[in-house]
Amino acid sequence: MSFLQKYTITPRYLTKPSKRRSGKLIIGGVKFIVAHDTGNPGSTAANNVGYYERSRNEDSASAHIFVDDKEIIECIPALTAPSEKAWHVLYKVDTDNHIYGYDANDAAIGVEYCYGGHINADEAYRKYVWVIASICERFKLDPATAVVGHFFLDPNRKTDPVTGLAQSRRTYDQLLKDIVTEYQACVGSNDNAPLMTASAQWNFTAQAGKVATTAKLNIRKDTPRRTADVVQVLPAGATLDYVGWVSDGETVNGNSKWYRNANGHYFWSGGVTSPVTAAEQTSAQ
């Protein structure tokens, strides 16, 4: 199988040996992935990796990959070289051992989500979801079961990535679903085969109408999710035609209804007025 390489993973390895990067290899293969956030709003991937390098002999805490809206930086080898151990979950917390049969430091890749400040949340999230899906494909992991949040492993001390995701109005459950969707979209049977899409999953109702935007609104390419590329941004008060809607798109503020336009693109119903159907338009004339 091939995997769609949407983004570049930049290797910027920490010096070894050091407290943060021992250089010890993961023996026996990667078994799962731990989703983290940095806990430091506004700090970029480069900021975090730079700090890790400067403090490499002061602290043993580490992670493999940092993701923001501009870069995916791998500071401890995971995908760009033989995978090494990183110290991203406490050894004395054994939830990971009970779930996966391995300790996260010995068998898991740690991926950090950068958020807040001037970081574009949508773009950072797209990269974050993609690189986790990419790790699943590389190590033949099931994306539906191989990803776990740090907070789930260490609930008495940690809240990541829930806290970081909340900054962009996303949830941990949504992250897990989006990773599966991204994996399915990026895996092809061969280089020339069409990629799988998530469009067949949606419960579509065909009914035309018009709405107006109530705030600045993103039009998303092909899928009713905020991970989809933005093809257009409309100001408040703009009029939009739609050909139908799905009731099971990404849930945003408790609302999973998204409209689809004639180009097959989607926009969230929470950002528009109540619809005026084609039948209502005709009867009003």
Q: What is the pLDDT of residue 254?
A: 84
Same fold for the pair 2-188 and 199-284 = no
What pLDDT, on the 0 to 100 scale, is given for residue 258? 94
Which amino acid is residue 223, in one-letter code? T
pLDDT of residue 204: 80
pLDDT by 10-residue block (mean), the chain, 285 residues? 90 97 96 97 98 97 98 97 97 94 97 97 96 96 95 96 93 93 79 37 81 94 86 93 88 89 90 68 39
Domain 199-284 has CATH 3.30.70.3000: no
The fold of the 2-188 domain, in CATH, is Lysozyme-like (3.40.80)
Quote the crossing angle between the two packed helices 121-138 and 172-186, to the nearest 10°. 60
Residue 213's DSSP bridge partners are 272
The pLDDT of residue 276:
59
Residue-level pLDDT at 278: 45
SS3 of 178, please? helix
Give the pLDDT score at 201.
56
Q: How far apart are CA 99 and CA 187, in angstroms?
A: 27
Please tell me the pTM assigned to this model: 0.74
Q: Do 102 and 44 meet the contact criterion of CB atoms below 8 Å apart? A: no
pLDDT in the model for residue 251: 84
- Rounded Cα distance between 114 and 67, Å, is 6
CA distance 127 to 217: 21
Residue 52 CB neighbours (<10 A) = 24
Q: Where are the domains of the chain?
A: 2-188, 199-284
